[in-house]
Amino acid sequence: MMHVFVEGVGLVGPGLQGWAAGRRVLAGEQPYRPAPTAVGASDWLPAAERRRAGTPVKLALAAGLEAFAGAGRDAAEVATVFASSGGDCDNVHLMCEALAGPERQVSPTRFHNSVHNAAAGYWSIATRSHAPSTSLCCYDASAAAGLLDAASQIAVDGDPVALIVYDHPYPEPLNAVRPLGASFGAALVLTPRATARAIAVLDVAFVPQNAAAARMDDPGLEALRTGVPAARCLPLLAALARGMRETVMLEYVAGTHLRVAVGPCS
């Protein structure tokens, strides 16, 4: 079992614009009203990179920077874990389209943005970070894989780590075979020790057995959870929003899961 503390949370998704407003919805204090995800270009990026950044990068930056604002930490000094099921799906579509055409010429900018650690690269430019960064993909279990990696790094190194998860739908025809229901991003700034900014403690354990995944009570939020791999973390975010002691099961791979015990710091 790995013991970590949550200092900051970031959230951007359909009807969940920011943690301050989204936490009230996730805690059941306000009804969930789905709405298109609104995310703009980040002022943290230079003009050239701002023009090139796609929606996945914008999601990652918006969620990550909100989490660091809540934590009151310098993003340049903290290691990061980026987790996404598909990366920049718009770019994948356009590159496949170009390769299927007669010219078969791929834009260098599109190729640059197609790599799975593109969001990490833009993050390092925006925050001027030289801290270690990991970018991973684990299909529908990408959010759980990111949390497991971040908690493992904290357990081994004893330093804070930020987890940033994000997903964005593919255009057709790829959407027909890999549908992702919406654009969604979330972030947690995690630390090895309790601080004045800490809002919760997590005990994260890998369990090599199958278990029923935690679900959302609201049908709209449950549809979001099941429809977007990055949103599989919604039950964990809801537990943080409620601020009580509870255990959340997150599905992992091959019949395994993560058991996350959530509790207040005091």
* Alpha carbon of residue 194 to chain centroid: 22
Give the pLDDT confidence of 101-152 residue by residue, as tens digits.
888 888 787 777 788 899 999 999 999 999 999 999 999 999 999 999 999 9
- CA torsion angle 33 36 40 42 (round to 10): 60
Q: 95 pLDDT exceeds 90?
A: no
For residue 237, what are the contacts with CB-CB under 8 A and spacing of at least 6?
Answer: 9, 11, 22, 23, 26, 186
Residue 17's identity, in one-letter code, is Q
Give the pLDDT confidence of 53-88 residue by residue, as tens digits.
889 999 999 999 999 999 999 999 999 999 999 988
CA 169 to CA 145: how far, in whole Å? 20
pLDDT reported for residue 53: 87
For residue 165, what are the contacts with CB-CB under 8 A and spacing of at least 6?
Answer: 63, 82, 83, 84, 142, 143, 146, 185, 186, 187, 230, 233
pLDDT reported for residue 113: 78
pLDDT reported for residue 65: 97
pLDDT reported for residue 101: 86
Q: 218 pLDDT exceeds 90?
A: yes
Strand (E) positions, the chain?
2-13, 16-17, 79-83, 133-136, 161-167, 184-191, 200-207, 246-251, 257-263
Q: What is the DSSP string of 228-244?
A: -GGGGGHHHHHHHHHTS
* Other beta carbons within 10 Å of 36: 9
* Other beta carbons within 10 Å of 209: 8
User: Residue range 162-166: average pLDDT?
Assistant: 98
Q: Is 31 helix (H, G, I), strand (E, B) or coil?
A: coil
pLDDT reported for residue 125: 95
Strands 246-251 and 200-207: unpaired
Give the pLDDT confidence of 225-253 residue by residue, as tens digits.
999 999 999 999 999 999 999 999 999 99
pLDDT reported for residue 89: 85
Q: What is the DSSP string of 35-75?
A: --------TTS-HHHHHH--HHHHHHHHHHHHHHHHHT--G
pLDDT reported for residue 48: 87
Class of CATH domain 2-197: alpha beta
Give the pLDDT confidence of 29-57 residue by residue, as tens digits.
999 999 999 998 889 998 988 888 889 99
pLDDT reported for residue 165: 98
User: Residue range 11-18: average pLDDT?
Assistant: 96
Give the pLDDT confidence of 171-214 residue by residue, as tens digits.
999 999 999 999 999 999 999 999 999 999 999 999 998 889 99
Q: What does the domain layout of the chain look like in residue ranges?
A: 2-197
pLDDT reported for residue 105: 83
What is the pTM assigned to this prediction? 0.95
